[in-house]
């Protein structure tokens, strides 16, 4: 069994390819501009991520470059969610963010374009990232935050083994307003018992 070592997160990080049929996770590529364009038209994704609100190819390229920079700077792992039947066409993104890694915890965030929702792809991606975070990196705690009204995202969190801990009032600023967020968490020890 691997043990947690904060020194393992020294930059630059390498974003691996992860498989969790029917999805695979891979680093962003310039071919993902079409997916970024789709995501930019979503009413929520640009509000809670760095996806550009107004898409241009330059803005899309800048977004993809930011995803690469996250690994280079040691901020985390940014993955494209792709279906294993078509690995070059992304349907969403999932990230493992390391801003709190010194305290033994990391955050996960995910989104899927509207055309790919309702098929459990985000749940498969989440389980793959959990396996990587706990199995390869031995991170003690993972958490993620879901808007209280977003029942589909809450179901995804629960399908990944996460339990709801609390509603954090005024937790994040979205579109100029402080909004509540439900915190879901999973501990390494819990995951080991589930496995």
- Residue-wise pLDDT for 40-63, tens only, equals 999 999 999 999 999 999 999 999
What's the whole-number average pLDDT of the chain?
A: 95
Check residue 147 and give its pLDDT: 94
162 domain residue, yes or no = no
Comparing C-alpha atoms, which of 122, 95, 135, 103 is closest to residue 13? 95
Check residue 195 and give its pLDDT: 65
155 domain residue, yes or no = no
113 domain residue, yes or no = yes
Are 25 and 18 contacting, i.e. CB atoms less than 8 angstroms apart?
Answer: yes
Q: Classify residue 54 as exposed, middle or buried by CB count within 10 Å of its CB (0-12, 13-18, 19+).
A: exposed
* pLDDT over 90 (residue 35): yes
Measured at the CA of 60, the angle between CA 101 and CA 99, to 5 degrees, comes to: 10
23 domain residue, yes or no = yes
CATH number at residue 105: 3.40.630.30
Range of the domain at 21: 8-140
* pLDDT over 90 (residue 99): yes
Task: Kindly state the average pLDDT of the residues 68-84.
Answer: 97
160 domain residue, yes or no = no
181 domain residue, yes or no = no
59 domain residue, yes or no = yes
Number of structural domains (the chain) is 1
- Tell me the per-residue pLDDT of 102-159, one tens digit each, with 9 for 90 and over: 999 999 999 999 999 999 999 999 999 999 999 999 999 999 999 999 999 999 999 9
32 domain residue, yes or no = yes
């Amino acid at each position: 069994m691997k043990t947690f070592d904060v020194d393992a997160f020294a930059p630059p990080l390498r974003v691996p390819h992860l498989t969790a049929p029917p999805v695979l996770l891979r680093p962003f590529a310039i071919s993902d501009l079409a997916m970024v364009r789709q995501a930019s038209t979503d009413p929520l994704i640009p509000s809670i991520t760095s996806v550009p609100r107004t898409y241009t190819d330059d803005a899309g390229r800048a977004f993809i470059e930011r995803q690469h920079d996250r690994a280079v700077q040691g901020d985390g792992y940014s993955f494209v969610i792709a279906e294993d039947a078509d690995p070059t066409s992304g349907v969403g993104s999932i990230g493992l963010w390391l801003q709190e890694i010194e305290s033994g915890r990391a955050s996960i965030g995910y989104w899927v374009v509207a055309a790919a929702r309702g098929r459990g792809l985000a749940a498969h991606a989440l389980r793959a990232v959990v396996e990587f975070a706990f199995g390869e990196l031995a991170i003690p705690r993972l958490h993620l935050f879901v808007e209280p009204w977003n029942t589909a995202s809450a179901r995804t969190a629960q399908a990944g083994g996460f339990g709801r801990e609390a509603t954090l009032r005024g937790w994040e600023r979205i579109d100029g307003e402080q909004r509540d967020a439900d915190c879901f968490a999973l501990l390494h020890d819990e995951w080991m018992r589930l496995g």
